A and B are shown apart, each in its own frame.
Chain A
Amino acid sequence: MDYSQFLALKQEIGLLIVFLLVFLYDTFCSPRSAKAVPMIATVLMGVLVAWGFCPVVKAPETAFAGMYVTSPVMVAIKNILNVGVFIVLIQSVKWANSEFTAVRRGEFYELILLTLLGMYLMISSRHFLMFIIGLETASLPLCALVAFDKHRYESHEAAIKYVLTAVFSSAILLMGLSFVYGLAGTLYYNGIAGALAGRMGVMLSVALAFVMAGFGFKLSLVPFHLWTADVYQGAPTSVTSYLSVISKGSAAFAFLVVLTQVFGQFYAQAWEWMLYALIILTITVGNLFAIRQTNMKRFLAFSSISQAGYIMLAIIGDNDMGVSALMFYTLVYVFSNLAAFGVIGAIENATGKVDMTDYNGLYKTNPRLSFTMMLAMFSLAGIPPFAGFFSKFFVFTAALNGTASAALYVLVLIALINTIISLYYYLLVVKAMFINESDSPIATFRSACSERLGMWICVAGIIGLGIVSYFYDYLLTVVA
């Protein structure tokens, strides 16, 4: 065996080094210096982010007989995930050092880094065995993370719901893969595509439906979304933000790779209309349920369901522009959603309040937090000049790029109408903060230095991505 092929796994090795350093420090440091674990993990992650931008991968490289592929596109999406994880780690420093969590704060960082490694593998794999290993490495530690607040009953309830649905969805996905294997005789992505050429049939339709259902659970697409709200509400806020952004972004990219590379030839016959139905249901149901939520975390759960529908719009066009639009959407979603979760987490850490009615009159007492939240809501709703407008714009363009299909125009029209519905509930939060009066608003407090830093990065991202076209241009050149 040629061991030099391990060198193709540059980012995985970098992440593994970060993980090992954090793990060794957490294991062997004295109890007094354990308080530095969050800081060390964050700084090391920052180094990894910076290193990711060095252009070390210039052309596609493969390893393990083609089971693993890395290319500038893979590097770009992994960098986007890295940035997201970096912000999540910054925002979680105060929570990790709090009274109930301090005793096992190292585990939080180790598990987060391990799930990220799983997502790397899931994105880079070109063989379903590698893909399943990556998927499980990504989802199993997340179940443990959801149960992290051992003193809270809700955390356990959320964890049991998450682990049962995660295993159920992997079983369905695996059943679909076993049918695909029975038809094709191989598990390589390109091998399957070659063996299945022109062999559309009942068994393949069933297999494809199973695979899409499995991914639908991971991405919380309607009708596979029922776990989302409870898990988001019950999990610790740092874990919820990780789940909603990083986990979703990586699953969306892996879904894109599987659909285009394995089943690309059955686009018009099979998966276009399956995805079509999923998108309409996801965007509409997510929006309608978000309107009646009062808990902020539940509210963002339904908002993230409808955002997942918008991400799927980048896939349904089945073209190169969709890849860059999906990556850009993920990047913008990272900044917007993490800004919202940063504010929610800061308020929860200071006062323990997570209800929308608690936010009444927040502007009078905490103007900066309200302003950050407002920017996040504007970006999520897609108001120009903030980044969210452009991400939605590119996703719509990608869905219609080079097509004359009237059905896709109808789909984009429905998505547009839904954008207006979503504007209503995003502005409800803004209205609560700025207009509603309250007898007992949240008292003025100073959020921790780390939380402020995280929010500053998010605000810079929301505004910068909206007015600087460099980032999207860069993603376009990477894909082309």
Chain B
Amino acid sequence: MDITLIWYLVPAIVMFCCGVYGFLTRRNMIAMLISLELMLNAVDINFVVFNRYLFPSSMEGWMFTLFGIAIAAAETALAIAIIINLFRVSKNIDVRDATKMKN
């Protein structure tokens, strides 16, 4: 049985949708961050697979993936730093409680 393009695209889109679902339903900020990471990695899979199966003569998708991984790492580091700061101030990282400004 051949492993074709669709075998990779379906898991990627499932990962992406899990990420969106997790981002919208989880209430712990670290869990939300993990969901975001799932979404970004699904994108990386998409780029690699499209490049490998459809356009193997160039490397644009692979290069994009490398940069995508670096950007995802930077984003995560920054988000974790902000979450740690928030935890120091309020001893709580539940987004339901981060509603002081709502009026």
Interface positions, chain B 10-68, Cβ under 8 Å from A, are 16, 19, 23, 29, 32-33, 36, 39-40, 42-43, 46-47, 50-51, 54-55, 58, 60-61, 63-64, 67-68
CB-based contact A133/B67 at 8 Å: yes
Interface size on B, residues (CB 8 A): 42
A147 interface residue per 8 A CB criterion: yes
Judged by DSSP, the binding face of A is helix
1/0 contact string of A208-247 vs chain B (CB within 8 Å): 0000000000000000000001100110000000000000
A61-100 to B contact mask, C-beta < 8 Å, 1/0: 0000000000000000000000000000000000000000
Would you call A163 and B78 a contact (CB within 8 A)?
Answer: yes
A175 B42 Cβ-Cβ under 8 A: yes
Are A167 and B68 in touch, CB under 8 angstroms?
no
Number of A interface residues in the complex (CB < 8 A): 43
Report whether B101 and A230 are in contact in the complex, using a CB–CB cutoff of 8 Å.
yes
Q: How far is the CB of A243 from chain B (nearest CB, A)?
A: 15
Contact call B89/A153, Cβ cutoff below 8 A: yes
Q: Is A159 an interface residue (CB 8 A)?
A: yes
With a CB–CB cut-off of 8 A, which chain A residues contact B32? 164
Nearest residue, chain A, Cβ from B40 = A171
Task: Please report the C-alpha to C-alpha distance between residue A133 and residue B98 in the assembled complex, in whole angstroms.
Answer: 30
| Cβ 8 A contact of B82, one of A133, A156, A181, A186 | A156
Give the residue name and chain of the A residue nearest to B90 (CB): A153
Among A154, A164, A178, A298, the residue within 8 A (CB) of B100 is A154
**Cβ of A158: which chain B residues have Cβ within 8 Å of it?**
101
Neighbour of B101 across the interface among A140, A172, A181, A233, CB < 8 A? A233
- Which one of A170, A187, A294 lies within 8 Å of B75 (CB-CB)? A170
Q: A142-179: contact bitstring with B at CB < 8 Å (1 yes, 0 no)? A: 01100100100110111111011011101110110111
Contact (Cβ within 8 A) B98 A187: no
The reply to whether B60 and A187 contact each other, CB–CB distance below 8 Å, is yes
Q: Which chain B residue lies CB-closest to A143?
A: B78
Name the residue on B nearest A175 (C-beta): B43
Interface string of B68-103 (1 = CB under 8 A from A): 100100110011011101100110000100101111
14 contacts between A and B (CB under 8 A): A132-B64, A132-B67, A132-B71, A154-B101, A159-B82, A159-B85, A160-B82, A164-B29, A164-B32, A164-B79, A168-B36, A168-B39, A175-B39, A298-B103
Question: Known contacts A157-B98, A167-B79, A181-B50; can you find 9 more A-B pairs with CB under 8 A?
Answer: A129-B67, A133-B71, A160-B82, A163-B79, A171-B43, A178-B46, A181-B60, A185-B60, A186-B58
Q: 6 tightest A-B contacts by CB? A: A178-B46, A171-B39, A182-B50, A185-B55, A174-B43, A156-B86
